[in-house]
Amino acid sequence: MEEPARSEKKPTPYWNPYVAGVALGTVLFTAFLVSGSGLGASGGVARLVVQGLKSISPSMVNQNHYFAGMGGGHANPLNNRIVWMVFGAMAGGFVSGMFSGRLKAEICRGPQTPPGLRLVAAFAGGCLMGWGAAMARGCTSGQALSGGAVLSLGSWVFMLMIFAAGYALAYPLRRLWI
């Protein structure tokens, strides 16, 4: 019996979204139980940025209100739970991808989108996301999921705004995805 080659293995189906949601909610609840705070992601990226800046120019970090809060002076920007969580998340994503047959080097894009355009859009979208996450002090994981679960007023405003803005631009940008 021939074993199919790795690249020909059909990926396993995704979990049912409600099942995945309840599972994610349970992980989120566990995070609260264990630490008092929820999940997050953008903070980890921010701290990596601060660490990178600090190794080039510590004074730039110290004199900047935004960066200093994360790693000014003697503080180590990477010594923070959000950083450990981000590394754990990448490991978890990798392992799940591995067992599900979804470890495939590719560019996910809409059927009519050339790869180059997709990458430019990914970078542009990422910049907007990064700026917005810094502004909002969190992203969909930290603010919308975690802040939403504890009914923080600002988090819900943030979450509704994300959906509103996304839907508003969906039709004009449909060539990217449909």
Partner 1 sequence: MFPLQLSGTVDVLTTVLIGFAFGFVLEKAGFGNSRNLAAQFYLSDMRVLKVMFSAIVTAMLLIFAASALGWVDFERVFVPPTYLGASLAGGAALGVGFIIGGYCPGTSLVALATFKWDGLVFAFGVACGMLLFGLMAPSLMTFWTTAGALGRVTIFEWLGVEAGIVVSAVLLMAIGAFYLAEIAEARIVWAKPPVAGRPNSPAFLRAAVACAFAAAGVALVWGQPDVQRKIAWNQAALDSRIQSRSVFIDPAELLHLIHNNQVERLLLDVRDESDYNVFHLKDAVRTTIAEIDQVWVKSIRPEQVVVVMSNDEARAVEAWKHLAVHRGINAYVLAGGVNRWCEIYWAGNFEAPGPEFPASGDDRFRYADAFAKAENPASQLLLVRFSPAMGDRDTAARPGTEYLARREFQTKIRLLRAVKAPGGGCGG
> Which residue, 2 or 106, is less far from partner 1 as judged by CB?
106
> Which residue, 2 or 4, is less far from partner 1 as judged by CB?
4
Whole-number Cα distances in Å, 75 to 26, 49, 54, 58:
32, 14, 11, 11
> Which residue, 1 or 105, is less far from partner 1 as judged by CB?
105
- Minimum Å distance from CB 172 to partner 1? 9
> Which residue, 2 or 10, is less far from partner 1 as judged by CB?
10
Task: Quote the CA–CA distance of 126 and 33 in Å, as a whole number.
Answer: 31
111 is written with which tokens? Answer: 């059927």
- Minimum Å distance from CB 71 to partner 1? 11
Closest CA to 156 of 177, 138, 176: 138
Q: With contact defined as beta carbons under 8 Å apart, do 50 and 70 qualify?
A: yes
- Minimum Å distance from CB 3 to partner 1? 22
- Minimum Å distance from CB 2 to partner 1? 24
